[in-house]
Amino acid sequence: MKWATGSADPRHRAASPDLMAALLERGGEGVVLCDADGVVTLANPAAVRLVPRLEPGLPLPALLDVVPSAPEGRTVTYGGREIRVRAEELGEGRTAWYLTAETPREPQQTLRTKFLLEAARRLSASLNPHRCARAATELGTDFLCDAAIVLLPPTARRRMEWVRAVSGSSGPDEGVVSAAAAAEVPGLTDALAGLREDAAGRQDPAGTPDWLLPEGFGPVGHLLVLPLPGNAVPAGAIALARRAGRPPFGEDDQVMARDLATRAGAAISAASLFREQSTVNAILTGDLLPPDLPEIEGMRLAGRLRASQQAGAIGGDFYDVYLPEAAPESGIVHRPPLVILGDVCGKGARAAVLAGQVRHSLRTLLLLESRPERLLELLNRSLLASPSPNSYVTLILAALRSAPGDHVLVDLAVAGHPPPLVLRRDGTVEEVAVRGSLLGALKKISLWPVTLDLGPGEVCLLYSDGITEAFGGPSGREMFGEERLKRALATCAGMPVDALVERLEQLSTEWLRGGQQDDRALLAVRAGRGTSR
Amino acid sequence: MQDTLPFQVESLVSEPGAVRLVMTGELDFGAADEASAAVDKALAEDLRLLELDLAGLKFIDSSGMAVLMNAYMGAGECGAGFRIVALTPYLRHLIEVVALDDVLGLPD
């Protein structure tokens, strides 16, 4: 500090006590003077703002009782804020204390809040593990580092997929390395084993393998490698790199890096789990997919199966066609083609498994038995013996025999299913008088099979209750119902069978008016080869 | 569908040793567990007769039908009687479709 001395101009004379007092009064730094007994003799307003208990004549508050040894002072917390305290001996036991509020920590907290919000938004946007990994790397480069690399856990073939974002370059890139090469990344093996007790993931940047960063990235100055915590096993690891010359990862950065790893790990493991379950579901529901309908001499078949739109609630409607053996060996029964349409109890994977079980059981039984009612009795026994609960199935079996004059004789057996409808040549629609108990519930089932004679152009329609129980209509709460289905079918006289099922399905969909739909299955058999009467 | 009616089941002791379960709303896939639990609880009480009042059921799907079947069979296994005391025409029709009307002994 310099003082003006000996100047001729009075305005440049040495500062007067008044001026000194004004300086102290208005200064931003807190100044406290105290005497040898530790009693405050002066405290400027800035000091009192920081420590309101300062008052001339009273002893120094406890926080100012130790003179900091370091010239830059020390930081104390008072009243929820951090205050840097310096002290200077002024001689004769007097001490001057200088108090300054530490730079408020708000900016860093705001950054963390912003980061957490962004992390939540971006990481929850996808159920695809790769997209989650991309989001994690971009969060890394946006908030923490120059390059962020997510390594996904090794696959069965000992290879690891990586996703990398580098600040300043366009979108993340991806690749695959062998697990052995990946192990060169310092700390990666520990991170993948879920070990994170080491110094907050800080690793020796000199050990960074070349493949981890793109060409021209330059030397790495600072490297963090953290596990991505998953369900029991880590969902991978993330490496965060700063170029040489950039500041090291501070404490706040490391907290944020751990936040990033935790959130990315949760998102990636949830996405991986979802992917696995989707795969399993796809395999299971494959058994519910309708088969391609074959050409059968003397008749036409058409079917539609519409699965429920509710995710994970695949219902149990199914249909299938069993053609006779082309060249039956001895011991294999000779029989006509058989179509079936059924509905298993419940929804989801359990229903899919049960439907698959019914279809495969029937395929096997058909090698030895051809009478529809006998087949149903055998299926019933097999379902009763099934250890899984609620193995209830409703089913229609229809054996299709070509008869002279383009007629088709349909041997129908119905187990607990809505009876088929018949569209006669004159446009009338009948419900076939056939019924029987549902399968899987009772030891002794009752069946009343019938044989139906379809003339040329006449149609037998098998359907599931998803068609008639579609809720919708003008009120949105009315069932489509059997009467409406019969009336709709009556308008289809003369139509090709493909167009007929399409029209019925469309009418049922329109009835739903966008409402939630259950599974719906339709299967129609039309006698004769032609498409018109 | 819109405006689904929540499923509810109420358990009443109609006479000593007899429990009447009054089910209302929609007995579908989502409600089946709750309905089954009520049946199991009733059957656990050394029952002589299980009665179901289904007059308030607006809708029932295959999972709901399974609950009724399990109740019927569960009662049989416990040596208890089983009776449906009231039901809607729609439900009666469905029970006839699955050909269980004789077995379940529907009211006239």
Q: Is A290 helix (H, G, I), strand (E, B) or coil?
A: coil
Tell me, yes or no, whether A226 lies in a domain: yes
Contact status, residue B99 vs residue B64, Cβ threshold 8 Å: no
- How close is the nearest chain B Cα to the Cα of A457, in Å? 28
Same domain membership, residue A222 and residue A155? yes
Question: Domains of chain B by range and CATH?
Answer: 8-104 (3.30.750.24)
pLDDT at B105 > cutoff 50: yes
Burial B47-64 (b: 16+ CB within 10 A, else e): bebbbbbbebbebbbbbb
Closest C-alpha to A392, from A339, A337, A425, A350: A350
Tell me, yes or no, whether A262 lies in a domain: yes
- What secondary structure letter does DSSP report for A218? -
Q: Using CA coordinates, name the residue in chain B closest to A396.
A: B98
Residues 42..101 of B with a Cβ closer than 8 Å to A: which? 59, 61-63, 65-66, 69-70, 73, 96-100
Helix axes B32-43, B62-77, angle to 10 degrees: 10
Q: How many CB atoms lie within 10 A of CB A92?
A: 7
> Looking at this protein, which amino acid is placed at residue A243?
R
Q: Answer yes or no: do A469 and B61 touch at CB < 8 A.
A: yes
Mark the ranges of chain A whose per-residue pLDDT is less than 70: 1-15, 65, 69, 103-109, 195-200, 284-288, 308-315, 328, 516-517, 530-533
- The percent of chain A in helix, strand and coil, each rounded to the nearest 5, is 30, 30, 40
Contact status, residue A527 vs residue A298, Cβ threshold 8 Å: yes
Which CATH number is A398's domain given? 3.60.40.10
Same domain membership, residue A296 and residue A269? no
Measured distance CA(A135)–CA(A129) in Å, rounded: 10
Q: Answer yes or no: do B97 and A436 touch at CB < 8 A.
A: no
User: In this complex, is the C-beta atom of B36 within 8 Å of any C-beta atom belonging to chain A?
Assistant: no
For chain A, how big is the Rg over CA atoms in Å?
41
**Residue of B26, B57, B62 to mutate for A, most A C-beta atoms under 10 A:** B62
Put residue A62 in one of left, alpha, beta given phi > 0 → left and psi -120 to 50 → alpha.
alpha
Which CATH number is A14's domain given? 3.30.450.20
CB nearest to A346's CB, from B59, B63, B70: B63
Tell me, yes or no, whether A532 lies in a domain: no
Burial A36-54 (b: 16+ CB within 10 A, else e): eeeebeebbebbeebbeeb
Segment B3-27 mean pLDDT? 88
Closest C-alpha to A407, from A526, A271, A285, A256: A526
Within 8 A of A476 by CB-CB distance, chain B residues are 1-3
Measured distance CA(A292)–CA(B103) in Å, rounded: 38
Same domain membership, residue A308 and residue A261? no
Closest C-alpha to A236, from A264, A278, A255: A264
Same domain membership, residue A303 and residue A209? no
Q: Answer yes or no: do A515 and B2 touch at CB < 8 A.
A: yes
Longest dimension (CA), chain B: 41
Measured distance CA(A218)–CA(A349) in Å, rounded: 52
pLDDT attached to residue B24: 95
Query: Which of the listed residues A282, A312, A332 is the one where a domain comes to its end?
Result: A282
Tell me, yes or no, whether A2 lies in a domain: no
- What are the DSSP E strand ranges found in chain B? 8-15, 18-27, 49-60, 81-87
- What are the DSSP E strand ranges found in A152-277? 159-166, 173-178, 202-203, 220-227, 237-243
- How close is the nearest chain A Cα to the Cα of B15, in Å? 29
Closest C-alpha to A248, from A145, A355, A115, A363: A145
Whole-Å CA distances, A424 to A398, A456, A511: 18, 9, 25
Same domain membership, residue A414 and residue A503? yes
Within 8 A of A355 by CB-CB distance, chain B residues are none
Q: Answer yes or no: do B2 and A344 touch at CB < 8 A.
A: no
Which CATH number is A265's domain given? 3.30.450.40
**Residue of A318, A344, A345, A439 to mutate for B, most B C-beta atoms under 10 A:** A345
pLDDT digits over A32-74, tens only?
888 888 888 888 888 888 888 888 888 888 777 677 767 777 8
Tell me, yes or no, whether A215 lies in a domain: yes
Query: Which of the listed residues A261, A282, A303 is the one where a domain comes to its end?
Result: A282
Contact status, residue A397 vs residue A523, Cβ threshold 8 Å: no
Same domain membership, residue A73 and residue A134? no
Structural domain of A112: 106-282
Within 8 A of A417 by CB-CB distance, chain B residues are 97-98
Q: How many CB pairs under 8 A join A and B?
A: 70
pLDDT digits over A149-168, tens only?
999 988 777 889 999 999 98
Measured distance CA(A523)–CA(A304) in Å, rounded: 7
Q: Using CA coordinates, name the residue in chain A closest to B93.
A: A418
CB nearest to B2's CB, from A390, A435, A477: A477
**Residue of B82, B98, B100, B103 to mutate for A, most A C-beta atoms under 10 A:** B98
Tell me, yes or no, whether A487 lies in a domain: yes
Measured distance CA(A144)–CA(A240) in Å, rounded: 8
Q: Is A430 helix (H, G, I), strand (E, B) or coil?
A: strand
Same domain membership, residue A400 and residue A263? no
Same domain membership, residue A242 and residue A130? yes
Q: Answer yes or no: do A390 and B63 touch at CB < 8 A.
A: yes
Same domain membership, residue A355 and residue A215? no
Same domain membership, residue A481 and residue A378? yes
Same domain membership, residue A33 and residue A129? no
Tell me, yes or no, whether A423 lies in a domain: yes
Tell me, yes or no, whether A504 lies in a domain: yes
Query: Which of the listed residues A242, A260, A282 is the one where a domain comes to its end?
Result: A282
pLDDT attached to residue B2: 43
Within 8 A of B98 by CB-CB distance, chain A residues are 394, 416-417, 437-438
- The percent of chain B in helix, strand and coil, each rounded to the nearest 5, is 40, 35, 30
Domain count, chain A: 3
pLDDT attached to residue A314: 62
Same domain membership, residue A141 and residue A231? yes
> Measured at the alpha carbon of residue A144, what is the angle toward residues A142 and A149, in degrees to the nearest 5?
85
